[in-house]
Structure 1
Amino acid sequence: MDKFNIIMFTGGGDLCEIVYDFLEKNYAVQAVIIDSPVPKKTMIKRRIKRLGMAKVFSQLLFMKGVVPILNWESRNRRKKLLAPFTQSSIFKSSKIHFPDSINSSETIDIVNKFQPDLIVVCGTRLISKKIIDSIRVPIINMHVGITPKYRGVHGGYWALCNNDKENCGVTVHLIDPGIDTGGVLSQKTIEPTRSDNYSTYPILQAIKGVECLKESINYIKEGKVNTINNNLPSKLYYHPTIWQYLYYRFVKGIK
């Protein structure tokens, strides 16, 4: 095991378990800081303000009515993909910490206590400028999309919907105060099969993403933090509405 010291910031979930399993097996994970979820009412109010009531309602119909069906539809595929990553569960770890928020002063205290070489982020809310400015080591994030073209959520799915397979992939980038706008360190693409759908694309991305993490961590260890300029346009994506999903599934065959 490499003695490179890492703290992980995460919100939990399948993708974060994949990342934690990789880090735990290959580096010295000092602590795992679990971000608390943003209250649903707060999140919905923010989305309505940004996107409008009609679109948010249609997104909720998709997430509550369609996503459970997609999870069931892909249950065997999900089980197969996740099987190699079940040995090191985040929530079985004695290293976990639960601050009120990833952006609380407690997070800074934990980082200062352990003095890591690197922070790895996966699946948290937007990290505040205050936290970023308070941490004196690199902070990197694994994002399930090719940035800056597919910022936000479900970048792989949206790339397929856009007939943009060459940009269906995953990115590891430096953290800055924006939404997936930090300098790119590594990117790789995925190749979904007919057995995959909206629920499994992110798992494929996370599996490929640990390769990006390995490359990025090696760059940082060697002091070669050179970002990639891929000259792609920048766009922020959200969850599909139920109507968007049905259109892309039955017209374009994107599951």
Structure 2
Amino acid sequence: MAPRLAVLTAGGSAPAIIVNALAEAWPGLTVIAEPPEGKGEFLRRRARRLGWLQVAGQLPVMFGSRLSKRFLDRRFAEIEKTHGVSMTWPRDVTVIDVPSANHPAFIEALKRIEPDLLFVVGARMLSAATLEALPCPAINFHAGITPYYRGVNGGYWAMARGEPDLYGGTVHFVDTGVDTGNVIAQKVCISDPRDTIFTHHHAITAQCAGLCAAAVPEALAGRLMDPQPQGASQQYFHPTLWGWIATGLRTGVW
């Protein structure tokens, strides 16, 4: 009997790429959808760690994609065509809505589905209590090469730091850290000069769709990438507006 696969996501065009790839490779998967984290909640959580001044500087970059939507739609269409992926959500998958991945309803849904594996893509971090209650292993797709580029905008930061050889994606087991779980598979991707901080994530995700589907049987078998990637580990956040402009002027990476 084919393994049962569940996907946890908060939606979005980049996660849709992975969901489509998984649904094609593993028919019958179930999507558990949580709403995106509220902006106020997100900003307060970020400010507790970085301070309000830093967060205020990050805001224009966080929400800048809305100001250039027409350009982004053109670039997204090019990415879809080049890599043969779709950013449109599939209509033929079962979707279960829950208030949050850390709400009891999420675990209840998993117990009803009885999946052999949970694939997390574009969802909030699972709390220690939720992880402990999971009835199956969980893996995550991260658009960055770990351990070097954890957190957000991994592709942008790799290019901004002059490390195109670390521009790519990672599939790893989920633990209590931010993209710190044992690595199942990684792929170094090809960067395109047309991409910016607003499109790198989609470009990497498109190039890693096949990697995600192929990682499922590896995870079910408990196989890891050997050897595990080693290197300086750092969690990255959005750049401030002034930092983004300075980097762009200095390096040409936007």
Q: Does 1:78 align with 2:76?
A: yes
Task: Indicate the residue corresponding to 1:68 in structure 2.
Answer: 66
**Residue 87 of structure 1: how far off its partner (Å):** 8.4
Task: Indicate the residue corresponding to 1:138 in structure 2.
Answer: 137
The answer (yes or no) to whether the contact 2:218–2:224 under 8 Å persists in 1 is yes
**Residue 214 of structure 1: how far off its partner (Å):** 2.8
Q: Secondary structure of the equivalent of 1:177?
A: coil
The answer (yes or no) to whether the contact 1:74–1:195 under 8 Å persists in 2 is no
Task: Indicate the residue corresponding to 1:114 in structure 2.
Answer: 113
Instruction: State which drifts further: 143-152 or 228-237.
Output: 228-237
**Residue 203 of structure 1: how far off its partner (Å):** 1.2
Question: Relative to structure 1, is the Cα distance of residues 35 and 243 closer, same or farther in structure 2, using a 3 angstrom cutoff?
Answer: same
The answer (yes or no) to whether the contact 2:247–2:253 under 8 Å persists in 1 is yes
Task: Indicate the residue corresponding to 2:218 in structure 1.
Answer: 219
C-alpha distance in structure 1 between counterparts of 2:220 and 2:37, whole Å:
34
Q: Secondary structure of the equivalent of 2:146?
A: coil
**TM-score with structure 1 length normalisation?**
0.91
C-alpha distance in structure 2 between counterparts of 1:95 and 1:33, whole Å:
8
Q: Does 1:15 align with 2:14?
A: yes
**Structure 2: gaps of 5 or more residues:** none
Task: Indicate the residue corresponding to 1:158 in structure 2.
Answer: 157
Question: Relative to structure 1, is the Cα distance of residues 100 and 70 closer, same or farther in structure 2, using a 3 angstrom cutoff?
Answer: same
**TM-score with structure 2 length normalisation?**
0.91
Deviation by residue 1:50-88 (Cα, 9 ceiling, x = unmatched)? 111211111112234x43345433432211213544486
Question: Relative to structure 1, is the Cα distance of residues 231 and 247 closer, same or farther in structure 2, using a 3 angstrom cutoff?
Answer: same
**Residue 147 of structure 1: how far off its partner (Å):** 0.9
The answer (yes or no) to whether the contact 1:19–1:206 under 8 Å persists in 2 is yes
C-alpha distance in structure 2 between counterparts of 1:154 and 1:29, whole Å:
31
Same amino acid, percent of matched pairs: 27
C-alpha distance in structure 2 between counterparts of 1:226 and 1:165, whole Å:
21
Structure 1: 4+ residue segments shifted above 6 A: none
Q: Secondary structure of the equivalent of 2:232?
A: coil
Task: Indicate the residue corresponding to 2:193 in structure 1.
Answer: 194
The answer (yes or no) to whether the contact 2:145–2:170 under 8 Å persists in 1 is yes
C-alpha distance in structure 2 between counterparts of 1:221 and 1:42, whole Å:
34
**Residue 226 of structure 1: how far off its partner (Å):** 5.5
**Residue 179 of structure 1: how far off its partner (Å):** 1.0
Task: Indicate the residue corresponding to 1:247 in structure 2.
Answer: 246
C-alpha distance in structure 2 between counterparts of 1:184 and 1:114, whole Å:
26
Task: Indicate the residue corresponding to 1:89 in structure 2.
Answer: 89
Q: Does 1:27 align with 2:29?
A: no
Question: Relative to structure 1, is the Cα distance of residues 167 and 110 closer, same or farther in structure 2, using a 3 angstrom cutoff?
Answer: same
Deviation by residue 1:189-220 (Cα, 9 ceiling, x = unmatched)? 11122222222211121122223223321313
C-alpha distance in structure 2 between counterparts of 1:111 and 1:229, whole Å:
30
Q: In structure 2, what residue type is equivalent to 1:72?
A: R
**Structure 1: gaps of 5 or more residues:** none
C-alpha distance in structure 2 between counterparts of 1:130 and 1:93, whole Å:
32
C-alpha distance in structure 1 between counterparts of 2:102 and 2:150, whole Å:
21
Task: Indicate the residue corresponding to 1:51 in structure 2.
Answer: 50
